[in-house]
């Protein structure tokens, strides 16, 4: 029986490191949103794991909504073309929105989303991303809560996929080149 973790060359962030970091970020978020009703917006599908774990770390009142966008398809490079597959259910008017992402790579997805959300009348919009690749940035995205800055490698796990696979890995790791070559 093959084990999907055999397709990784390196583990970059372990399950335990993710858990500790989300707890740390959650304490900051609880302080910053004290007395406010926050709407967490998870960006499907990559953010599912971060959303589930971050939300359970938070001890403040919150709602969750989901936006499905995709810019990668089956490739390893961002196309820059963002498609909405599912829009929000919630009306953002007057809401304190915290966008939850697994990774900021080129930044194109989030900058597009931030622009899209800006016109919807939110009281505030911030971003929480577990991972960020500074060397891959094509556009600057203001992100208040960042878990880890990582090198510009193709990473999978903890929600991040290659061709829809590897999302169920508990750690984040570098995908072996032979898998996508």
Q: Which is nearer to Mn ion, 46 or 107 (CB)?
A: 46
Stretch that binds Mn ion, among 25-33, 42-50, 77-85, 112-120 (CB under 5 A): 42-50
Residues 139, 176: Cα–Cα separation, whole Å: 27
172 binds ligand PRP (CB under 6 A): no
Q: CB burial class (10 A; 0-12, 13-18, 19+) of residue 30?
A: middle
- Cβ 66 vs Cβ 90: under 8 Å: no
Stretch that binds Mg ion, among 18-26, 97-105, 137-145, 160-168 (CB under 5 A): 160-168
Interface residue with Mn ion, options 42, 46, 147, 173 (CB under 5 A): 46
Interface residue with ligand PRP, options 26, 41, 42, 105 (CB under 6 A): 105
CA atoms within 13 A on the CB side of 106: 13
Total residues binding ligand PRP (CB under 6 A): 18
Residues 60, 23: Cα–Cα separation, whole Å: 13
89 is an active site residue: no
**Distance in Å, CB of 51 to Mg ion, minimum:** 15
Q: Which residues bind Mn ion (CB under 5 A)?
A: 46
Residues annotated as catalytic (active site), given as ranges: 105
């Amino acid at each position: 029986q093959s084990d999907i973790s055999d397709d990784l060359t390196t583990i970059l962030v372990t399950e335990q490191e993710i858990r500790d970091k989300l707890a740390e970020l959650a304490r900051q978020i609880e302080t910053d949103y004290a007395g406010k009703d926050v709407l967490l917006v998870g960006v499907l599908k990559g953010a599912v794991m971060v959303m589930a774990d971050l939300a359970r770390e938070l001890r403040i009142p919150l709602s969750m909504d989901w936006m499905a966008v995709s810019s990668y398809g089956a490739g390893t490079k961002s196309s820059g073309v963002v498609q909405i597959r599912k829009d929000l259910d919630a009306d953002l008017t007057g809401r304190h929105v915290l966008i939850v992402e697994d990774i900021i790579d080129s930044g194109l997805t989030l900058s597009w989303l931030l622009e899209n959300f800006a016109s919807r009348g939110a009281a505030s919009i911030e971003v929480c991303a577990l991972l960020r690749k500074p060397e891959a940035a094509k556009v600057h995205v203001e992100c208040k809560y960042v878990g880890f800055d990582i090198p510009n490698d193709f990473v999978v796990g903890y929600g991040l996929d290659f061709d829809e696979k590897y999302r169920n890995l508990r750690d984040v790791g570098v995908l072996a080149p032979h898998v996508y070559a």
